[in-house]
Structure 1
Amino acid sequence: MSCVVSMAALETTIQRAGATGNIKATREDWLKLALETLISDGVERVRVLTLGQQLDVSRSSFYWYFKSRQDLLDQLLDYWRQTNTRFIVEHAARPSATVIRGVMGIFECWVDEKLFDPRLDFAIRAWARRSPATRRALDQADEERVNAIRDMFMRHGYEEEDAFVRARVLYFMQIGYYSLELNEPMSTRLTHVAAYLRSFTGQEPPAEDVEDFARYVEKTLSGKR
């Protein structure tokens, strides 16, 4: 049985027991706090004692749900695989009438942090500098993501090497964009969508496709407010 936890399941569900006011933290509480700590402070701060103090519970609560700190870290890494990587792969594999539409499907991951959380991705990348095992998992994820995008280009008639290079440019450009923390307003980014599509595909994007993507962005961002 998979131990992957969805974001919905990571919502706090602290249970209060008895008249003494003792607090019992659920497995989801531990995972949610560990994930938040990983993103904000790095893997070194994901410590059983520290998390327990923040949840106001004893260490025994932790060991009710997890075998060890490493077990917790493994589950955080698995959660990252099942969100950031899975959604890119799924979007790249979706049927699309044109390559322009295929690339736009991948763009959706860059717009919606429920599909791809850049803060989590870079927390994993920072962790990988300290952990060979995490480095291997990261390299595997990057390869899987690029290959999925490559396959999308190939389905639309691009030769394998051309498709591979276009996939790398598309994917690693976006990772670099996050790494530089450009914080470019979405309104500015949208003015470049047609040029990005042209650069990544070598084709002229129809105006209606660009307009459809702008509507998708507006709908997605309005849902976050």
Structure 2
Amino acid sequence: MWLDAACDLFLQQGVAAVMIQPLSKRLKLSRTSFYWFFTDREELLDALLERWRDRNTGAILRQAEAYAESVVEATLNLFDCWLNSGLFDTKFEFAVRSWALQSEAVAAEIKVADQLRIEAIAAMYKRFGYPPIEADVRARTVYLTQIGYISMQTVEAPEVRMPRIANYVEIFTGKTPEQREIDRFFGRHRFHPQGTDIPA
């Protein structure tokens, strides 16, 4: 309850707004009840970071390790993170990276997370036979492109972004996706290109 409210406030107003008194007013609870759950504000902020690690870094690691029959399918599994906020929360990511500008400790957490994520994506490429240096460069290209999207707060409508997916995959993997692979990806994101029938 307190952590959920803190997360909402953090996403809306940043870390400076995450204070016990505003949270107690928001929840219509006494300040003293906060201390049943957390020792102090710092412990609450640590819990926020832990949630970010579990959700966002965890999602990238899981998707990079997910079963795939081809490197195209593996890359599309990873792309699920960028399009499904239930897997990877881009607003949470932006908020934590903004927080890191004010906190050396959080900046250090970001550095560790970035390295873990890049290593997981590189390992994904290595599984499909890419040499280590090439796997690392491809991983960095995929990951840093998406972090750029997040940092610039780029928002693209599905009808703009989705038709580019096959081209992104080809650039990131060097392989041309099969139509069935793209169709499966579109299907799980409920995207229907113009000119296709939408199932009833």
TM-score class, shorter = over 0.9
Q: RMSD across aligned C-alpha pairs, in angstroms?
A: 1.1
Unaligned runs of 5+ in 2: 192-200
Match of 1:82 in 2: 54
Match of 1:173 in 2: 145
Instruction: Compute the displacement of 1:134 (Å).
Output: 0.8
Instruction: Compute the displacement of 1:182 (Å).
Output: 2.7
Match of 1:212 in 2: 184
Distance across 1 between alignment mates of 2:40 and 2:188 = 42
Distance across 2 between alignment mates of 1:123 and 1:180 = 12
1:195 aligns with 2:158: no
State the secondary structure of the residue aligned to 2:130: coil
Higher RCO (C-alpha under 8 Å, 6+ residues apart): 2
Instruction: Compute the displacement of 1:207 (Å).
Output: 1.1
1:160 aligns with 2:132: yes
State the secondary structure of the residue aligned to 2:69: coil
Instruction: Compute the displacement of 1:214 (Å).
Output: 0.9
Match of 1:222 in 2: none
- Taking structure 1 as the reference length, the TM-score comes to 0.82
- Taking structure 2 as the reference length, the TM-score comes to 0.92
Aligned residue runs from structure 1 range 26-105, under 5 A: 29-105=1-77
Distance across 1 between alignment mates of 2:18 and 2:39 = 15
Query: Contact 2:93 / 2:150 at 8 angstroms: preserved in 1?
Result: no
Distance across 2 between alignment mates of 1:188 and 1:35 = 30
Distance across 1 between alignment mates of 2:154 and 2:32 = 43
Match of 2:194 in 1: none
Match of 1:147 in 2: 119
Large movers: runs of 4+ above 4 Å = none
The amino acid of 1:117's aligned partner reads: D
Give aligned pairs, total: 191
Distance across 1 between alignment mates of 2:75 and 2:160 = 19
Match of 1:10 in 2: none
Unaligned runs of 5+ in 1: 1-28, 220-225
Task: Give the % identical residues.
Answer: 37
Which has the greater radius of gyration?
1
Match of 1:136 in 2: 108
1:106 aligns with 2:78: yes
